Amino acid sequence: MSPPDARAIPAFVLGGTGYVAGELLRLIAGHPRFRFAGIASDSRPGTAIDAAFPHLGPAYRGGVFTSVDSLLDDLSACESAALFCAAPHGAAAALVARALLARTRALHIVDLSADHRFRTAAAYEAVYGAQAAGDEQLARFTCAVPEHVAVVPDTHIAHPGCFATAMLLALVPLLTHGVIDSDVYVSGVTGSTGSGRTPVAGTHHPDRHGDYYAYKALAHRHAPEVRAVAAGLTGVDCRLHFVPHSGPFARGIEITLQARLRQPMSGADVSALYAEFYRTSPFVGVSAREPHIKEVAGSNYARLCATTADGSIAVQSVIDNLTKGAAGGAVQWMNRLFALPDETGLTAPAAGWT
């Protein structure tokens, strides 16, 4: 047996049996520098990992879920560690607070829940109706997609989430360059994995298959999250009018953003703006052809396409909701926090025929 890599970074996952946790485990298994060190699920301690995620059996055969207490003990014994929090919003903040007390000298946390996306507890409570973390804890987190932060922050990371990632990739360049009015309209569609693992009415496959419908029109919680992140990055507080939809497929997100242009621009002009903005971003591609979800499903890549006509702009943005919109974006952030290239362990192309 080969000796352990002294450069390997222990990687832990909190909140263990959902789709995002499974996707994190898949990516960690193929990562050249992260070494799986434990996954916690207080509801299933001692249960085999491949009982919850059979497709991960070849990588995690013999591995089991542990308790949160046990995982935090192991975390405290590490000199450095990567901690991914895949717990649901409302529960994540308390788990993260405990992790922040670990004796790990170099600990980096990426929280995939909503609990650290706002800068103040009051802002979070206004959207979610309950307080999760206090202002002091929130100040220790930065919320953004990696492509929009040039200098790696000295804080932990709150991942913006799936719909938010697709919207921010399309929106932030336009606000940064001041080329659109402040009213922004977004229509988006997501696959059923975006609703989580527990079947509920509307996400159960027989109900969703062959169907297509809007939900939480103009009232989805991602809208204020996107507004807050975009304003923090650009200084522009746009008015975001968002209508999400449920699609009859498992993985992927497509959003179409529309706005009025402040000055005449051709589609080629806007494409050039996006291409320059994302010139150093390995995962964001810009093309003149409308992107398809199958081009990115199962990958950490995003595709953008912009067109203009009659003083308006329409931008299509596609991502995989579980990878770029969640676990892949989190691993990309963790790469940066450990001074690794963004693309480390994330360059596998889309599956194509999902």
| Structure tokens that stand for 290 in this block | 């409308």
- Helix or strand or coil: residue 146? helix
Q: Which of 85, 162, 238, 305 is catalytic?
A: 162
d(CA 131, CA 122): 7
Run of H or E residues at 158? strand 156-158
Question: Tell me, what amino acid is at 196?
Answer: G
- Phi-psi region at 210: left, alpha or beta (left = phi > 0; alpha = psi -120 to 50): left
CA dihedral 224, 14, 36, 144 (to 10 degrees): 10
Smallest CA-to-CA distance from 78 within 10, 16, 148, 153 is with 10
Cα separation of 114 and 208, whole Å? 25
Is 162 part of the annotated catalytic residue set?
A: yes
**Per-residue DSSP letter, 77:** T
Helices (H), 77-120: 92-99
Q: Which two tokens stand for residue 182?
A: 């402040």
Catalytic machinery residues: 162
